[in-house]
Amino acid sequence: MNTRLLGFGRLLISAGRAMINSLSFELAGHIAYTGLLAIFPFLIFLAALAGFLGNAAGGLASMESMLNLLPQDVAKTLSPVIHEVLDSRDGGLLTLGLLGALWVASNGIDALRIALNTAYDIQEERPWWLIKLGSIGAIFVGGVVFLLLSVLVILGPVIWKGLLWLFPLGEADRWAFSTVRYTLATLVMLAGLLALHRWLPGRSLSLRSLLPGVLATTALWLLAASLFSVYVAKLGSYSATYGSLGGVIITLVFFYVSAVLFIFGAELNSALLRREKKKAENPPPAGPKALAGG
């Protein structure tokens, strides 16, 4: 047991050292800034796509579900803007303005790709236009997935009312139903992270080698989201320091923490891959029985 703990500690140290040497914390700042800029163009695209598909309420329902997973202070900052953008369903969005929104939103995907290529030590060899098409495609697929998930979000309360009509369910059952919904949201988040790690870098890695870091990022992000509101309430003084920009700063800080955890998951996978490669190149010496042929 001590040997396993020691090996796990060395693995964490290796991942942390790699983050420092590759300027991952600085890159996380770039991801946070780019991600904050990319959210609102993505909302514009989502509103246009939802209106085009006749599911205008779906985009809003998807975002409401996402906000439930965020810290309260971050959700309060983003919620008014999200409602404002998604409520203004202008048909003119499906024009050059939509293409511009797609281009800007794809910059957030580009930042994640750079972080993954750096963590996995992958040299990008694809032409820039193919990379950009891939980023725009990821935004488009993400928008469609959001709208498909919105069906589940909208049907959730309907299903609950149906269950209440069929069975005499109590408050404990309501809590269990909410737990199932949040569990599904967490699984969707895990699947999304796996997809990013799998298809964004310049070289695809096996799902088995990607899963440990993705699980670590998901667990740490859920913990960070839970503790962030407590930190802001007890220790943070953003309003006193930044005035009316306090909410924006809080959101940017949370994006930065999320970016650090995203990179850490990739670096953890990379450390595991380095350890497996080292074991393959330097196998342990054969035991006495193997040497004796027994």
Q: Is the sign of the CA dihedral 95, 100, 105, 111 positive or negative?
A: positive
Whether residue 107 lies inside any domain: the answer is yes
- Number of domains observed in the structure of the chain: 1
Q: State the pLDDT at residue 140.
A: 77
Residue 266 lies in a domain: yes
| Predicted pLDDT at 214 | 94
In-domain check, residue 9:
no
Structure tokens at 157: 């309360």
Per-residue pLDDT tens digits for 14-27? 888 989 888 899 99
Cβ neighbours of 30 (radius 10 Å): 15
Which residue range forms the structural domain that includes residue 90? 15-280
Decide if 273 is inside a domain: yes
What is the rounded distance in angstroms from the CA atom of residue 272 to the CA atom of residue 7?
11
289 within some domain: no
Q: Is 241 a domain residue?
A: yes
Per-residue model confidence as pLDDT tens digits over 262-274: 999 999 999 999 8
- Run means of pLDDT, 10 residues per run, the chain, 294 residues: 74 88 89 83 69 58 64 77 63 56 82 93 90 86 68 57 62 63 78 91 91 93 81 64 72 89 94 87 61 48
Size of the chain, expressed as the number of residues it contains: 294
Residue 274 belongs to some domain of the structure: yes
Structural domain includes residue 58? yes
Please, which residues have CB within 8 angstroms of residue 55's CB and are 6 or more apart in sequence? Answer: 147, 150
Q: Could you report how far apart the first and last alpha carbons of the chain are, in Å?
A: 28
pLDDT of residue 47: 66
